[in-house]
């Protein structure tokens, strides 16, 4: 499922995406390595934190498409 995600470089844009899909933003300080948000068993958002503490944000853009 992770191959369907797109990396997004900004926490503020990630936060806005979570608002659109109806999810609450997690507190970054509480995430040790990974956080995921799923809808109906489909992964739609993920945060990965590397060993140095750098967070990377991923979204499934299909969740906000207007097709």
How do the pLDDT tens digits run along the chain, 67 residues long?
Answer: 567 899 999 999 999 999 999 999 999 999 999 999 998 889 999 999 999 999 999 999 887 775 4
∠ CA 4-66-20 to the nearest 5 degrees? 75
What is the distance in angstroms between the CA of the first residue and the CA of the last residue of the chain? 21
Q: Alpha carbon 64 to chain centroid distance?
A: 13
- Give the strands of the sheet with 34-39, arranged side by side: 6-8, 55-59, 42-49, 34-39
- Helix or strand or coil: residue 42? strand
- Residue 3 is predicted with a pLDDT of 72
pLDDT of 45: 96
Q: What whole-number distance in Å separates Cα of residue 36 and Cα of residue 67?
A: 25
pTM, 2 dp: 0.86
């Amino acid at each position: 499922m992770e191959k369907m995600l797109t990396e997004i470089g900004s926490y503020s844009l990630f936060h806005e995406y979570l608002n659109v899909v109806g999810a609450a933003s997690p507190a970054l300080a509480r995430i040790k390595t990974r956080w995921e948000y799923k809808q109906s068993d489909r992964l739609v958002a993920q945060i990965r934190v590397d060993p140095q503490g750098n967070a990377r944000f991923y979204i499934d853009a299909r969740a906000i498409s207007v097709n």
